[in-house]
Structures are given as C-alpha cells and as structure tokens.
Structure 1
Amino acid sequence: MNPPYFSENSGCKSPDQSALIARHEVACNLTDISKCAAYLLKHSGRFCLCHRPERLCDIFEALRKYKLEPKRLRPVVQKDYQEPWLMLIEATKGGKPGLKIERQLIIKNQNNTYTDEFRSLYREFATF
C-alpha cells in the first residue's frame, strides 16, 4: 500500500482536491489504514506499505495499535551515497516483536542507470 505521506497539518497543500487527498491525510490517516489492514488480514497475514522515513514512529505506533507487528524495514535510496527517501515496511498481524532492518535498496547506479536489483524487482511492471 502506498498511503498519503504527509499528515493533514504538514507541508504545502495542493489546491487540486485529488492531489490533496493522495498526498495528505485528509480522507484517511495511518490509524485508519492500520485498522483496515488488521480487519482484512488473517492471523499471521502480512501487510506491506511504502512510506516516508520521517513518519516511521507514527507508522509503528499505528500498526501496533491494531496488533500489526513491524517485521521488516528496508530503506530506499536513489543513489548509494544519498539518504533514504522511502521505507518499505512489512508487518505481520499478531506477530511477535522483532524487527529486521534490511540493506538499502539502491535505485540508480553512479552513471544514472537503474541497478540490476531494481530492474529485477520491477521487470514485470515496467519497460526499461
């Protein structure tokens, strides 16, 4: 799932209603998303989402509120020397505590071409 990244009271808001809803938590928030995921998942079911690093504390709090235990976290960077701009998060319904932080996913090489790993992950979804 790729939810709205920004809280309702943060950042510049788009005057376009659909862009506003897509980017800011005006129609749903992390708590709503976690509640829905918990309702839809069976015990031990997995929930994956992509979100911003600066929202990790809010994400973990919302997930745990509905018994979704964060299990895997993978930072995503454009290039190997940059800070993560996205986090891939996997939670398990009713899971025991224990978070594995995986190595970062690098999108582009130094020469600005896609890395082999990124290509293999997106091969069936995109044409490179």
Structure 2
Amino acid sequence: GGIKVIQTKGSGYGVDAVLLAAFAAGDTGAKGLSPARGRLRIADLGTGCGIVAFIIHHKLGGARLTGYDVNPSVIERAERACAMNGLSEDIDFVCCDIKDIDAAGEFDAVVTNPPYFRRTPDEPGAADPDDRYIARHETTADIRDFAAVSAAMLKEGGSLYMVHRPDRLADIITELRAAGIEPKEMQTIVPCAGKAANMVLIHGIKGAGPELKMLPGIAVHSADGGYTAEILKYYEREA
C-alpha cells in the first residue's frame, strides 16, 4: 500500500506485524474490525515502528489510532514515519510504560504484538538492553500486564487482537480470562506446510461468553522458500 516506515537493524518489523494487521482487519478470516461501525478508536500496544497502526489505517480508512511504546527511540521514528505518510491527524504515538496508560473504556479495539520472551537477568543483553532486546523481551511488562491494560482500555464488547508464540498460549488464555477478555478466535501460523506452528493469532472480546473458534492455519513460506500467495496478498504484492 505504499506505506513508509523508518527502521533500524534492531527495530524493524516482521511478517508477524503484517499478519496481526490483516487479522484485525478480517483479511485472514477472523471477525475483524469494520469501518461500517463508524470512526473506530484503536490502540496499538507495543507499537514499535508503527507499522501495524499504519496498515490498519490503510485498511480501515477513517480509524483513529494511538500507538504506545516504552522505547523513546522507536516512538520518535514512528512519529516521523507518520508525518511522512501524512497520517498525523489520524494516528498519534505515546512513549510510556503501558501500565501507566490512563484510558479507561475509551477504545473499540486493541491490537498488540507484545514481547515474546521472558526476561532472564543473566542472559546476554539484559543488563544494557538495546532496541532489539526491548522489543523481544518482557523488560517492563509481561502477558498479565498486556491483558489487564487491554481490558481496562476496551469498551464493553471491544476486541483485542494479539500475535504471540504458541509456547506462551496457556499463559495468554489464563491472563486474558482473568482480565475479563474471552478468547473467541485463534489462528496458527506455520513457517511452511508440514511444520509446527511458531506464531498464533488470538482474537478476544471483553465481556463475552466462552466459545473458541479455530480458524484455518496460515503458511508463511512455500516449498521454494518464498512467501506464499496468501502472505503476498497481505503485503499487497503480486505472486
């Protein structure tokens, strides 16, 4: 879609961000957000370079988005990219710990690509974390925090869209339910056909009753190593 982003070696985006945006927009078969509901208010927790917010705005038109991230350097780049894309009237960015957000019940939806890995104090990079380490590890907020903050920000009946790793799935479901968000749809992502899933997309609804639907899985790469036609569609590229 001609979206411009500002990336560095440690703060770029991957296919997980593109899939999250497609999932939230309903492109992967999930019950996505609809512009027919009016001017949606959407939060992006752990926004990084802002790509998820930019793609969702591209797909949904007049949505109003706010991206939050604890890292000031990535927020600065996201703000510059937002201006480059001419989206500053519809998208803004806030640098803060997500636990400090005060926006009770203001949002129709939350999208989030949280850090995937628990922080281990004695592992390489933990003592002086760079952009890449902060993006990938739970340095200031964990799954419980992302679930609780999302629930607080959402209107009753609002939707949470998350991408994470299957090995954290038990924790994710536990914490979402504890926060009052019921997982309603799930979709696994595999590197290629025949491989185990390495990502999972989750759609939860605040205040909903229990019933979880498993959507067809998505393969990222074809046998020749390139992206599958489905992934290229989400990138809006030709096969």
- Do residues 94 (structure 1) and 207 (structure 2) align? yes
Mapping of 1:1-128 within 5 angstroms? 1-9=112-120, 12-15=123-126, 16-17=128-129, 18-123=131-236
Distance of 2:196 and 2:121 partners within structure 1:
21
The two structures, once aligned, show a CA RMSD in angstroms of: 2.1
CA contact (8 A) 1:13 1:20 kept: no
Change (3 A) 1:28 1:113: same
Change (3 A) 1:100 1:11: farther
CA deviations 1:102-124 (Å, max 9, x no partner) are 1111111112222121111221x
CA contact (8 A) 1:34 1:63 kept: yes
CA deviations 1:27-80 (Å, max 9, x no partner) are 101111111111111111110111010000000111011110011111101111
Q: Amino acid of the residue matched to residue 7 of structure 1?
A: R
Distance of 1:32 and 1:93 partners within structure 2:
15
Distance of 1:99 and 1:27 partners within structure 2:
30
- DSSP-derived class of the 1:44 partner: strand
Give TM-score scaled by structure 2 length: 0.49
Change (3 A) 1:114 1:19: closer
Distance of 1:94 and 1:107 partners within structure 2:
33
Distance of 1:113 and 1:41 partners within structure 2:
38
Query: In the comparison of the two structures, how many residue pairs are matched?
Result: 126
- DSSP-derived class of the 1:20 partner: helix
CA deviations 1:11-33 (Å, max 9, x no partner) are 94425513332222121011111
CA contact (8 A) 2:232 2:238 kept: no
Give TM-score scaled by structure 1 length: 0.88
- DSSP-derived class of the 1:87 partner: strand
Query: What is the identity percentage for the equivalent residue pairs of Structure 1 and Structure 2?
Result: 32
